[in-house]
């Protein structure tokens, strides 16, 4: 039997409301779990710059034992009452360097919580197409890179998107960010297949992804400069 237009409109409206309600309920019900997964992934990325994180490792337990997190300002002073969870890097990135809130993650010894072995600093920038971000860890000398972890929103698959690969990230390990007292950072060079093992401040590039590489370079140097006053204070006590 042919249904009237009125019946079809009412049926469609009821179906839309029911489906919308179910989706909203599911989204709200899963929100807490989604946020927990995001937090877990961030903890894993922070730890991955200083150690191997294996499948099955209790990331939350390792993080709780080995990481001391706080927020500083451009001058390297701790901002009391704030935690890294209060800082949205994307929003801070839009501010001038002097106005940014800067999270810090200290990695302490497994046997001595008063001994800081390295620090992990968040990064944020812009690649070829969209935002890029990550972490860099500095050893106790506040000069040697212990590891990096990069991620992206929309870099080209097989080209700039390779910044999140172990192959690219491993090239930074052991490089230096200072030349004497001058912060020079580490530069990803143009082209690929070159040997920069003897140069403390350069790493091999990515074929076909020069602009993404430039974005990584700008991001790393920009945020190292943001943390410079903090790094200098830590170097004095290193």
Provide the pLDDT for residue 238.
60
Phi/psi at 108 (5° precision): -100, 165
- Structure confidence by residue, pLDDT tens digits, 156-214: 999 999 999 999 999 999 999 999 999 999 999 999 999 999 999 999 999 999 999 99
* pLDDT above 90 as % of the chain: 75
Provide the pLDDT for residue 26.
59
What's the mean pLDDT in 14-35? Answer: 68
Q: Are 62 and 105 spatial neighbours (Cβ–Cβ below 8 Å)?
A: no
In whole angstroms, give the CA distance from residue 90 to residue 95: 9
pTM of the model: 0.84
- In DSSP notation, 197-214 reads TT-TTEE---TT-HHHHH
3 Cβ neighbours under 8 A, 6+ residues apart: 11
In whole angstroms, give the CA distance from residue 31 to residue 38: 11
Torsion angle (degrees, nearest 10) of CA 222, 102, 166, 48: 160
- Structure confidence by residue, pLDDT tens digits, 67-90: 999 999 999 999 999 999 999 999
What's the mean pLDDT in 33-53? Answer: 87
Domain residue spans of the chain:
60-236
Instruction: Tell me how far apart the 2 most distant CA atoms of the chain are, in Å.
Output: 86
133 Cβ neighbours under 8 A, 6+ residues apart: 89, 122, 123, 124, 125, 150, 151, 152, 219
Q: Are 191 and 205 spatial neighbours (Cβ–Cβ below 8 Å)?
A: yes
- CA within 13 Å, CB half, 16: 6
What's the mean pLDDT in 9-23? Answer: 70
In whole angstroms, give the CA distance from residue 65 to residue 191: 41
Sign of the Cα torsion 194, 220, 209, 153 reads positive
Provide the pLDDT for residue 7.
64
- Structure confidence by residue, pLDDT tens digits, 95-153: 999 999 999 999 999 888 889 999 999 999 999 999 999 999 999 999 999 999 999 99
Q: Where are the beta strands (DSSP E) in 156-232?
A: 178-179, 182-183, 187-188, 202-203
In whole angstroms, give the CA distance from residue 185 to residue 176: 7
Q: 1 pLDDT exceeds 50?
A: no
Q: 219 pLDDT exceeds 80?
A: yes
Provide the pLDDT for residue 31.
62
Q: Are 173 and 147 spatial neighbours (Cβ–Cβ below 8 Å)?
A: yes
What's the mean pLDDT in 50-65? Answer: 90
Question: For tokens 């009412």, what's the residue?
Answer: 10
In whole angstroms, give the CA distance from residue 210 to residue 156: 12
Tell me which DSSP letter residue 176 carries. Answer: B
In whole angstroms, give the CA distance from residue 12 to residue 162: 45
């Amino acid at each position: 039997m042919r249904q009237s237009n009125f019946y079809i409109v009412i049926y469609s409206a009821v179906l839309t409301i029911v489906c919308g309600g179910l989706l909203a309920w599911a989204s709200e019900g899963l929100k807490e779990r989604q946020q927990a997964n995001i937090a877990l992934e961030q903890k894993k990325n922070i730890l991955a710059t200083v150690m191997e994180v294996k499948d099955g490792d209790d990331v939350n337990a390792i993080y709780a034992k080995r990481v001391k997190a706080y927020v500083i300002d451009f001058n390297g002073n701790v901002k009391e009452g704030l935690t890294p969870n209060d800082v949205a890097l994307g929003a801070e990135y839009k501010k001038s360097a002097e106005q940014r809130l800067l999270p810090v993650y200290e990695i302490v010894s497994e046997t001595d919580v008063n001994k800081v072995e390295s620090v992990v600093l968040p990064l944020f920038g812009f690649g070829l197409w969209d935002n890029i971000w990550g972490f860099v860890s500095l050893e106790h000398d506040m000069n040697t890179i212990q590891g990096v972890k990069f991620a992206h929103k929309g870099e080209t698959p097989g080209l700039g998107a390779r910044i999140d690969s172990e192959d690219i990230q491993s090239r930074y390990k052991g490089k230096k960010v200072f030349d004497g007292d001058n912060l020079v950072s580490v530069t990803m060079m143009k082209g690929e297949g070159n040997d920069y093992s003897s140069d403390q401040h350069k790493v091999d590039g990515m074929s076909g992804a020069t602009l993404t590489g430039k974005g990584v370079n700008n991001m790393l140097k920009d945020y190292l400069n943001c943390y410079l006053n903090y790094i200098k204070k830590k170097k004095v006590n290193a």
